[in-house]
Amino acid sequence: MVSARRENGTRVIRRWNDVFRAISAEPRRQLLLSLLDSSPDESVPLPESAVNPNAPAAPETLRRALFHNHLPTLAELEFIDWDRDPLVATRGPRFDEVAVVFDALHSHATEIPDPLVIGCQRLEREREFGHGE
């Protein structure tokens, strides 16, 4: 009984570690948000779906980082699937595990300290009204 509980606890800890590893880098967060905003079976184009509009990276630098780091990491964790030609990503079998974190953050956005959401609030207004300020 204790062994089964320990194994389950270890499995849960590992899965949470996977989620935090996935969201620990900005291009991965942006890509996951793009997938969250798309329909479940839709692919999103890369590198544009991994760009933070408030701090865009050089497209070729981002493309290399995606190809050699971020996409393999997210795919290994099964949060995304991706193709090279054309370079696109889709939701992976474990996408819901990471999506729920973004949903929880969004539902409590007013409680998050301003330094963590100022850019997000502006983006939310732009999405809502279809334009910038």
CATH number for the domain spanning 113: value is: 1.10.10.10
* Choice among 3-7, 38-42, 129-133 with the minimum mean pLDDT: 129-133
Burial of 95 (0-12, 13-18, 19+ CB in 10 A): buried
d(CA 69, CA 36): 21
Q: How far is CA 42 from CA 37, 45, 49, 82, 114, in A?
A: 10, 10, 13, 12, 32
Asked whether 87 and 45 are in contact (CB, 8 A), the reply is yes
pLDDT of residue 122: 47
Average pLDDT estimate for 5-25: 93
Residue of higher predicted confidence among 121 and 113 = 113
Confidence class for position 124, pLDDT limits 50, 70, 90: low
Range of the domain at 119: 2-129
Local confidence band at 133 (pLDDT 50, 70, 90 cut-offs)? very low
The mean-pLDDT minimum among 5-19, 36-50, 118-132 falls in 118-132
**Helices 95-107 + 26-37 axis angle, to 10:** 90
- pLDDT grade, residue 15 (50/70/90)? very high
The predicted structure's pLDDT at residue 129: 57
How many domains does one find in the chain?
1
Torsions phi, psi for 88 (to 5 deg): -140, 165
Angle at 96 between CA 95 and CA 98, to 5 degrees: 70
